[in-house]
Amino acid sequence: MAQTQVANYTMEAFVEDVNNIFKNEADPHEQAKKVSAHLKDLLAVPGWLEEKLELEEEGGFGRFSLHLDEESGHPGNGWWLMASVQKPGQDNLPHDHGNTWVVYGVYKGAIRQRKWRWAFPGEGVDTAQIRETGKFTQQPGSVAYFLPGEIHDTLNLKEEGRSLVVRLESQKLDRVTRFQYDPEAGTMKVMDR
Ligand SMILES: [Fe+2]
């Protein structure tokens, strides 16, 4: 995409691009990759998110809907674009996203992503457990996707001030059965919707 087009990219054009991907691409991994590339372009546009959220200079913590689309998605319709304005040190327990894929983009601030998976005897452990398999930091402009079934947790690395995170769920997660994991206790449970 030419530089001038990137500068003029809008959330509305992004929504159209995402709808076209769902229409033309059946493979969820390909969908996630293509949507990630467009989200990277959108994150590079200055000011659009503050404008959408009517965000003040400080605070404004919470989760905000940007676009819910009932015309397409994966595996069913109802993909969701949202923003989360995260408090210093805000984190969560490892969780999956059921049968959906999810794209995380950092607009401002920084978050740590950790990935986890079950390990069983024969894989270097004596008892079945949830183990961390890797971590990385997302800085502004960084996009990462998580495929159906993957387990991760997030942490806002900003010790003062907020991080602004944009997330696209291929089907709105409150419609999806998924699990939350406690690595210390070795337990899992269905997440509240
Ligand atoms: Fe997640």
Interval between CA 104 and ligand 1 midpoint (Å): 8
pLDDT value of position 2: 47
Q: Where are the alpha helices (DSSP H) in the chain?
A: 3-8, 11-24, 28-43, 48-53
| Nearest in space to 129 (alpha carbons), one of 190, 181, 191 | 181
3-190: CATH topology: Jelly Rolls (2.60.120)
CA of 152 to the centre of ligand 1 (A): 6
**Among candidate residues 37, 40, 59, the one with its CA nearest the CA of residue 50:** 59
How far, in Å, from the CA of 82 to the mean position of ligand 1?
A: 12
Instruction: For residue 115, give both structure tokens.
Output: 């990935």
Distance between Cα 175 and ligand 1 center (Å): 14
- Residues 111-166: tens digit of each pLDDT: 999 999 999 999 999 999 999 999 999 999 999 999 999 999 999 999 999 999 99
Task: Please tell me the distance between residue 101's alpha carbon and the centre of ligand 1 in angstroms.
Answer: 9
Report d(CA 127, CA 186) in Å as an integer. 10
Ligand 1 midpoint to CA 79 (Å): 15
Instruction: Classify 96 as helix, strand or coil.
Output: coil
Q: Is 126 helix (H, G, I), strand (E, B) or coil?
A: coil
What is the distance in A from the centroid of ligand 1 to the CA of 145? 10
Q: Where are the domains positioned within the chain?
A: 3-190
- 4 C-alpha vs ligand 1 centroid, how far in Å? 33
Task: Report CA(92)–ligand 1 centroid distance (Å).
Answer: 9
Query: How many angstroms separate the first and last alpha carbons of the chain?
Result: 38
pLDDT tens column, 4-55: 556 789 999 999 999 999 999 999 999 999 999 999 999 999 999 999 999 9
Q: Cα of 95 to ligand 1 centre, how many Å? A: 6
Tokens describing residue 17? 């691009």
Using CA of residue 168, residue 172, residue 178, residue 180, what is the dihedral sign? positive
pLDDT of residue 7: 74
The model's pTM: 0.94
- Give the distance (Å) from ligand 1 centre to CA of residue 125: 26
Distance 96 CA to ligand 1 centre (A): 6
Q: What is the mean pLDDT of residues 77-91?
A: 97
- What is d(CA 173, CA 181) in angstroms, rounded to the nearest whole number? 16
CA torsion sign for 23, 166, 105, 184 is: negative
What is the per-residue pLDDT for 170?
98
